[in-house]
Amino acid sequence: MKRYDNIAGFLTMALIGFGCLTTPITANAVTSADISSLLADAKAEAVQLKSDSADMESFVRSKLSWGSYADKLEMIKGHVNNSGKLLTKLQEAEADGAPWQQTAIKQIEPLLKELATNTEATINHLNDNKSKIHFPEFKDYVKTNYELATDLEALIRDFVNYGEAKGKMERLGAKHEITR
């Protein structure tokens, strides 16, 4: 009987979790702060993506096997997918964002799509050419992935930093108005 209770509890929690994930974001529920929080999450993901891409870029100067590349590419693919999920949430909330946030979301999308396309091409090239990982063509895929990851991280970081500075200025302005 105890096993049944555990399964029922698990199913209940799963259904509750599914309900939370499928509940649409309403216009009243999303704030500029929520979008800033999503951008901060995207920044953290981009930092990891850049780090893993840098690791893989360093692999081209070594004698590592294709398996090492495959493992790192799997990590990169996970970061790209997580970034895509965050972008979807940002796009759902975009209309409720400040103009700078809307601009950020619009600029992130094409760069992330290009990175996803290049990551997929890199994976396909590796799968088709496991014995040619030390050839220039594969090194070019890896280098391009690193450059795109670096650009994405810098773009998101700059927007997050701008948002933080803008928030500080607004709070300082509000304090100044109160003391008048």
- 51 pLDDT higher than 50: yes
Other C-beta atoms lying within 10 Å of the C-beta of residue 76: 26
- What does R_g of the chain's alpha carbons equal in angstroms? 21
> What is the distance between the alpha carbons of residues 105 and 13, in angstroms, rounded to a whole number?
32
Query: Does some domain include residue 22?
Result: no
Share of the chain above pLDDT 90, in %: 72
Residue 73 neighbours by CB under 8 Å, 6+ apart: 56, 119, 122, 123, 126
- Please provide the average confidence, as pLDDT, over all residues in the chain: 86
Q: Is residue 80 part of a domain?
A: yes
In a domain, 11, yes or no: no
Residue 39 lies in a domain: yes
The answer to the question of residue 110 being in a domain is yes
With 50 as the cut, is the pLDDT of residue 14 above it?
A: no
50, 156 Cβ separation under 8 angstroms: no
Type and span of the H or E element at 1:
none
The candidate with the shortest Cα–Cα distance to 86, out of 40, 147, 51, 50, is: 40
What per-residue confidence (pLDDT) applies to 2? 40
Q: What pLDDT sits at residue 174?
A: 76
Using alpha carbons only, give the angle 46, 47, 48 rounded to the nearest 5 degrees: 90
How many structural domains does the chain have? 1
The per-type count for the chain, helices as H runs and strands as E runs, is 5, 0
In terms of Cβ atoms closer than 10 Å to its own Cβ (0-12, 13-18, 19+), residue 73 is buried
Give the separation between CA 145 and CA 153, rounded to whole angstroms.
12
The residue ranking higher by pLDDT, 28 or 76, is: 76
Q: Which domain holds residue 142?
A: 31-179
Specify if 21 maps to a domain. no
Percent of the chain with pLDDT over 70: 82
Q: With 50 as the cut, is the pLDDT of residue 6 above it?
A: no
- CATH of residue 118's domain is 1.20.120
Q: Does position 94 have pLDDT exceeding 50, yes or no?
A: yes
**Residue among 124, 119, 113 nearest 142 (CA):** 119
In-domain check, residue 125: yes
pLDDT at 136: 94
Average pLDDT rounded to a whole number, residues 92-115: 97
Of 1-5, 37-41, 135-139, 145-149, the one with minimum mean pLDDT is 1-5
The whole-number average pLDDT for the span 116-129 is 96
Q: Examine residue 111 and state whether it is found in any structural domain, yes or no.
A: yes
